[in-house]
Amino acid sequence: MIQQERIRDLNGKATARGSYVLYWMQAAQRAGDNHALEYAVGAANDLDLPVLVVFVLTGDYPEANLRHCAFMAEGLVETASDLKKRGIPMMIRYGDPHGEVAATAGKAALVVTDRGYLRHQRLWRERLAAAAPCRVVEVETDAVVPVAEAYGREAYSAAALRPRLERLLPRYLLPLKETTLRKKFTPPLTDGEAGTSARELLAPLRLDSSVGPVTSLKGGAREALRLLEGFIEHGLARYGRERNNPAAPCTSRLSPYLHFGQISPLRVALAVTGAGGVPEEARGAFLEELIVRRELSLNFVYYQDLYDRYEALPSWARETLEAHRHDPRPYLYRFEELEGARTHDPYWNAAQRELVETGVMHPYMRMYWGKQILAWSPSPEEAFYRALALNNRYALDGRDPNSYAGVAWCFGKHDRPWPRRPVFGTVRQMNAAGLRRKFPMEGYLHRFGTGGLPVVHSTGKSK
Ligand SMILES: Cc1cc2nc3c(=O)[nH]c(=O)nc-3n(C[C@H](O)[C@H](O)[C@H](O)COP(=O)(O)OP(=O)(O)OC[C@H]3O[C@@H](n4cnc5c(N)ncnc54)[C@H](O)[C@@H]3O)c2cc1C
């Protein structure tokens, strides 16, 4: 079922007398569990037309590097093949997304696209809507509850959003039925159809290759589903009690797949909701992260224009950090020292190694990691931009609404004041003694070792 609130007409233009319905796939890079794709198929059936999918690869995607793009391309190759089985060709174009899609829309009756929440994604859709010769419709599929339905303004914290989401879930937490496309694309598309390897797809792009692909995770919907099944079988039951333990990870590792839209949050939520033999508190704890926390991040970037700026922090947090600006810092590191995991703190170094080497970091270590960057930087502003830059450069799930909300959380966003500490003021502090007290940290050190990293240094500036 595609709820009406997921659908937005972007330009008020009429459906044209075209020869296909064009789906511009951008955020939801999957052939299944995709409301935008199903909407396009339904509209095509009504118009007795085929569907063409276009995906635009751009070398200028904000902060993208080879690591991100290789993971994405692995998924795209699989998506193209899955679409083909449904009788839908996928065309790849290179250049600026809205311009390329507008060029492909010349013979379209209707353009459908998915929803992206970040600034550049919204701008691309606005520009496409103005340039396209026909109606452009956006269908929201990467949130369980559509962002504007969930809350009408920026939510102060999870406590504000949670009751709204809980009330709305019965309407939106429903499976999406796949519709069979009646009319296939003829003659078959030959020019520009997606190739068969990730390497081939990326070949025309000039990418920052200083951060290379990882071998720890493979991109694509099949791998995402495999991880989901494994998580439900082996991790979910422990999730409520043990998700924070870095020494014995039990989390889903789905965030890179969610980031690239290779798996739908609705599919994950339904699978976890229906998992048998799992304690209710484990299911609830997971859905709190997947729905409440993740959709709080969507709310943040959707309503807060300054989501990637220090100024987006709440005033109490900026005031307390200002009051402690000149507190002595027992350790001060240059950006390169942080990037190269060369601090005095073996736990932090291990977390940075995990990030650089595997493209992910244990969720609990991520909080600790961000907090220590605040403790060891010359100013809170510099700390904020350093954390964002390192996160977005190395994390497979970086450059996501969660990246901005996660980093901002380390500086007080969506949190409340805590007892006063040097440097942090009343922003919540985390320290190594706390880690040692709660978890057998040798297990984590054992996995990610110690010592510096041979990394190519980036600038440390996200802006
Ligand atoms: C400094 C910092 C930076 C972060 N950067 C990112 C980022 O770049 N991309 C990213 O996706 N998440 C980020 N997070 C949030 C969180 O750490 C990750 O979502 C989590 O590590 C993903 O691992 P997982 O998929 O195994 O999570 P699981 O525990 O299995 O959770 C399932 C899903 O729920 C969502 N989720 C879990 N925790 C959070 C959270 N705290 N906030 C919002 N959504 C959550 C994610 O989509 C995740 O995949 C950041 C957090 C911090 C503190």
Instruction: Pull the structure tokens for residue 94.
Output: 């290179």
> How far is Cα 174 from Cα 313, in angstroms, rounded to an integer?
35
41: closest CA among 32, 116, 55? 32
All structural domains of the chain with their residue ranges: 1-142, 221-303, 310-448
In this predicted structure, what is the pLDDT of residue 463? 35
Q: Mean pLDDT, to the nearest integer, of 108-126?
A: 98
> How far is Cα 193 from Cα 164, in angstroms, rounded to an integer?
43
Residue 450 has pLDDT above 90, yes or no: no
Q: Mean pLDDT, to the nearest integer, of 323-352?
A: 97
Span between the terminal Cα atoms of the chain, in Å = 41
In this predicted structure, what is the pLDDT of residue 406? 98
425: closest CA among 340, 337, 346, 316? 316
In degrees to the nearest 10, what's the CA dihedral of 408, 410, 416, 422?
A: -130
252 lines ligand 1 (CB under 6 A): yes
In this predicted structure, what is the pLDDT of residue 190? 62
* Residues 352-383 pLDDT 10s: 999 999 999 999 999 999 999 999 999 999 99
Query: How would you classify residue 48: left for phi > 0, otherwise alpha for psi between -120 and 50, otherwise beta?
Result: left
345 lines ligand 1 (CB under 6 A): no
The share of the chain scoring above pLDDT 70, in percent, equals 96
Q: How confident is the model at residue 196 (pLDDT cuts 50, 70, 90)?
A: confident
> How far is Cα 387 from Cα 339, in angstroms, rounded to an integer?
10
* Residue nearest (by alpha carbon) to ligand 1 atom 6: 403
* Residue nearest (by alpha carbon) to ligand 1 atom 17: 363
> How far is Cα 52 from Cα 263, in angstroms, rounded to an integer?
21
Q: Which distant-in-sequence residues (6+ apart) come within 8 Å of 398 by Cβ?
A: 63, 68, 259, 391, 392
395 lines ligand 1 (CB under 6 A): yes
Q: Which residue has the higher pLDDT, 3 or 449?
A: 3
Q: Mean pLDDT, to the nearest integer, of 418-432?
A: 98
Q: Mean pLDDT, to the nearest integer, of 160-173?
A: 98
In this predicted structure, what is the pLDDT of residue 186? 78
In this predicted structure, what is the pLDDT of residue 458? 59
Q: Which residue has the higher pLDDT, 450 or 84?
A: 84
377 lines ligand 1 (CB under 6 A): no
Q: How confident is the model at residue 462 (pLDDT cuts 50, 70, 90)?
A: very low
pTM for the model stands at 0.97
Q: Mean pLDDT, to the nearest integer, of 106-130?
A: 97
In this predicted structure, what is the pLDDT of residue 461? 42
Burial class (CB in 10 A: 0-12, 13-18, 19+), 337: middle
In this predicted structure, what is the pLDDT of residue 8? 98
The share of the chain scoring above pLDDT 90, in percent, equals 93
In this predicted structure, what is the pLDDT of residue 454? 67
391 lines ligand 1 (CB under 6 A): yes
- Ligand 1 centroid–CA 113 distance in Å is 25
Residue 459 has pLDDT above 80, yes or no: no
- Ligand 1 centroid–CA 363 distance in Å is 6
Backbone phi and psi for residue 108, each to the nearest 5 degrees, phi listed first: -90, 145
Q: Mean pLDDT, to the nearest integer, of 117-135?
A: 97
Instruction: Pull the structure tokens for residue 17.
Output: 């007398």
Q: What is the CATH number of domain 310-448?
A: 1.10.579.10
In this predicted structure, what is the pLDDT of residue 451? 66
Are 139 and 35 within 8 A, CB to CB? yes
* Residue nearest (by alpha carbon) to ligand 1 atom 10: 402
- Ligand 1 centroid–CA 463 distance in Å is 23
Taking CA atoms, 350 is separated from 90, 130, 377, 407, 446, in Å, by 41, 48, 19, 19, 9
400 lines ligand 1 (CB under 6 A): yes
HSE-CB at 265 with a 13 A cutoff on CA atoms is 27
Average pLDDT of every residue of the chain: 95
Residue 350 has pLDDT above 60, yes or no: yes
* Residue nearest (by alpha carbon) to ligand 1 atom 2: 406
Q: At what angle do helices 363-375 and 380-394 cross, to 10 degrees?
A: 140
In this predicted structure, what is the pLDDT of residue 419? 98
Q: Mean pLDDT, to the nearest integer, of 413-422?
A: 98
Q: How confident is the model at residue 1 (pLDDT cuts 50, 70, 90)?
A: confident
* Residue nearest (by alpha carbon) to ligand 1 atom 21: 363
Residue 192 has pLDDT above 80, yes or no: no
Q: What is the CATH number of domain 221-303?
A: 1.25.40.80
Residue 460 has pLDDT above 50, yes or no: no
Q: What is the CATH number of domain 1-142?
A: 3.40.50.620
> How far is Cα 374 from Cα 321, in angstroms, rounded to an integer?
10
